[in-house]
Chains A and B, each alone.
Chain A
Amino acid sequence: MAKKANQSIKLPLIDQEALSLLEKLSNAVGVSGSEGEIRTIIKQELESCSDQISVDTLGNLIAVRHATVKNAPRVMIAAHMDEVGFMLVDKDEDGIFKFQKVGGIDDRALAGKAVQVGKNHAPGVIGACPVHLSTPAEREVIMKSDSLRIDTGPGSKDLEVGDYGSFATKFHQLGSSLCGKALDNRIGVATLIQLFKNAPDSIELIAAFTVQEEVGLRGAETSAFNLMPDFAFVIDCTPANDQQAWDKSENTLYRTRLGHGPAIYTQDSRTLYDRRLIKFVTGLAQEHGIKVQLRQPASGGTDAGAIHLTQHGIPTLSISVPGRYAHTAAMVIRKSDWEDYLQLMTIVLQNINSEILTEERP
């Protein structure tokens, strides 16, 4: 039985400070395998309020805040730092490079975009053949990444094969929403930074900012093994395919919907989620009047896929911010969903306790 929430707790709002942090994180580049910029920002944010902060063999950043009570539950929250992007793999002449995608990017999202490459975020473009020089039949074919190039300008220097790149989209507000290139999963990173800064004393909080999620949940696998928490929460982004269908037929396969609050997973390709944790979280949401939605069971996965199988097994739950157009130059999330998400997770951390696991499994 969950203890009653402390009704006096002040729930966080998405203020200018929160937006500025997300902007900084979204504009930074941290392609899978090269997450250094993101690690640096998180270190700056958390160094002064961590009891321990360290980087492990794979590059996961682990920050710990101790409980002030004995036998407090060890709660791990994982948010992956990495984003999908590109690696320069061959140099043509005149600052033009062949590239490969890192992580899952639809080839149809590439052509005609501004990009940034290398440590200094050198500008570049992924161009496309002028429409005047292609045939209608050619325009029926997808422009694949191996036929496209990154053009960094004829005078470009200091860029080499092996350098990473990303779309160059700058974070901005869009109507009631937020738009950026890497909101998957800097929204999770920004949320975890905030949760960590305001962590309750009743739990041992382990924040795991993981690497290489987009290329196979690798950072999650090693960090969970090394940390072995009692519970794990994974905070990430998940698709909202909730727009009106072209033929106006009923859209029943939306997965999640914008404006309906944090999305709680029941199952995905890798994980059948712990029903006791789902019940605990949805119960708290109801009690506190916070909007939540259950993500329709569907393919996809999060760091939970690796974490819940660690050692003897770890009870794990994924809760994601719904978002549109992940892994493109311009992802969109609704601001109100982020606020609901931050508030829900704040309440979850205030209330989590080991008794949840003594309940019988459904």
Chain B
Amino acid sequence: MDEKQFISDFLKEMISLPGISGHESDISKKIGEVWQPLTDQIQLSAIGNLYGIKKASAKNGTEPARRVMMAVHMDGIGMVVERLAGDVLYFAQIGGFDPRILPGQQVLIHTETGEVPGVIAQLAPHLLSKPFDGKPVPLDQLVIDTGMTADELKEAVHPGDIISYANLPFELPGGCIAGHSLDNRASVAAVTQCLAELQRFNHSWDVYAVGTTQEETTFLSGTTVFDVKPDIAIVIDVTFAKGPGVDGYRVKALDSGPSIGFGANIHPALYRQFKALAEQLDMPYTLDPLPSMSGTDAVPIQTAFGGVPTCVLSIPLRYMHTPVEVIALKDVMRVGHLMAEFIARLDDSSLAQLVWED
């Protein structure tokens, strides 16, 4: 199958699955299945991190081979059942989002006995703590309606059940995909594209494709560094795309290529190398200023296990943390390709090049 079609189908499949922070097993299983034929070994850590290990295919002297890690968080934002109230239920959030996008959303409640569909609703003013005329109704007063009667609901749903968005992905003209959890499944797709390209390359470093958990909540991806002990870490995430109501230096156009991060979280030599490589490949790219902290897995990874040279590549995405996020598939392919070209160039002299130009 055409590589782009394969990545597009896989990405759409991934954003049709739940995978709420702390509850990543469905998505992790799917990613493991797809990475399995592209790697030599699949492992799952006790805390839920997924490792796809592709051993060096060329020997360049260093024994054991050096390790490069590509880290992508698999989890997404979601909700959790708080309490039942008659035939509706109240809920709390997992991860950060703007409650103003919620009324009218379709959701799935993941119960012990299966999935229960529902819709998020805003009740009539007289049923709220105050009418909230002319104001958004706060999250703690929005409800989910499952269409069940109070008795049916009590039987089926319990406090603590996890809630995900139910909307299915769709394509937009111009090579775009829309749906929930493109933050960060688009980056998982990019890593997958990289693994696919590495089948055709010789590489002298071991490659660790890592799906991390709980990025949106507890930032526990430092644990991956203890497991993998990488020599270089590449963190792939999404960044803000230019769009309605969002402009200025922080945003990148859709379809403008990888956004290469620089700032305190990022090793300057890796930043320079990725920038030079994009130039060399004649690939469009943008630069992403991340002055203090990147808000990605690079934060815990950079300082874990005595410190790891870390960099951040981002995919521009519109409407972040809504169920209608939009990305351009070309950007996904470009990020995957850039990483494959980078990894293929790693040799026994690469570590020595990570120097501070003082």
Contacts and interface: CB of A to CB of B under 8 A. Distances in A.
B173 A130 contact: no
A6 B118 CA distance: 41
B135 A244 contact: no
B121 A155 contact: no
B276 interface: no
Q: Is the interface of A mostly helix, strand, loop or mixed?
A: loop
B147 A179 contact: yes
A46 interface: no
A152 B173 contact: yes
Contacts of B121: 324-325, 328, 330, 332
A246 B98 CA distance: 21
A169 B119 CA distance: 11
Interface string A113-126: 11000000011111
Given A125-B319, A140-B136, A330-B119, A151 B173 contact: no
Contacts of A122: 173
A244 B86 contact: yes
Contacts of A131: 96-98, 320-321
Contacts of B171: 123, 153
B322 A111 contact: yes
A128 B100 contact: yes
B284 to A, nearest CB: 15
Contact of A176 (B124, B148, B170, B323): B148
A160 B141 CA distance: 39
Nearest to A331: B119
A126 B324 CA distance: 8
A75 to B, nearest CB: 33
Interface stretch (B29-37, B174-182, B306-314): B174-182
A180 B100 CA distance: 21
A251 interface: yes
B87 interface: yes
Nearest to B101: A112
A156 B174 contact: yes
Nearest to A158: B173
A99 to B, nearest CB: 11
A1 interface: no
Contacts of A172: 117
Contacts of A113: 104-105, 324
A243 B143 contact: yes
B324 to A, nearest CB: 4
Given A133-B250, A241-B126, A328-B121, A108 B100 contact: yes
A154 B172 CA distance: 8
B333 to A, nearest CB: 16
Given A246-B127, A328-B104, A147 B245 contact: yes
Most central of A140, A143, A174 by chain B CB within 10 Å = A174
Interface string A171-189: 0111111110000000000
Contact of B100 (A111, A175, A325): A111
A244 B240 contact: no
Interface string A81-117: 0000000000010111000000000101101111000
A9 interface: no
Interface in B95-144: 96-106, 116-119, 121-124, 126-129, 134-137, 141, 143
Interface string A274-307: 0000000000000000000000000000000000
A70 interface: no
Interface of B: 85-88, 96-106, 116-119, 121-124, 126-129, 134-137, 141, 143, 145-149, 152-153, 167, 170-176, 178, 240, 243-246, 250, 254-255, 295, 318-324, 326, 328
12 contacts: A94-B174, A108-B103, A114-B170, A131-B96, A152-B172, A153-B173, A155-B176, A175-B149, A175-B152, A241-B123, A245-B126, A332-B119
Given A139-B136, A328-B103, 6 more contacts: A125-B326, A142-B134, A151-B318, A174-B118, A176-B149, A251-B127
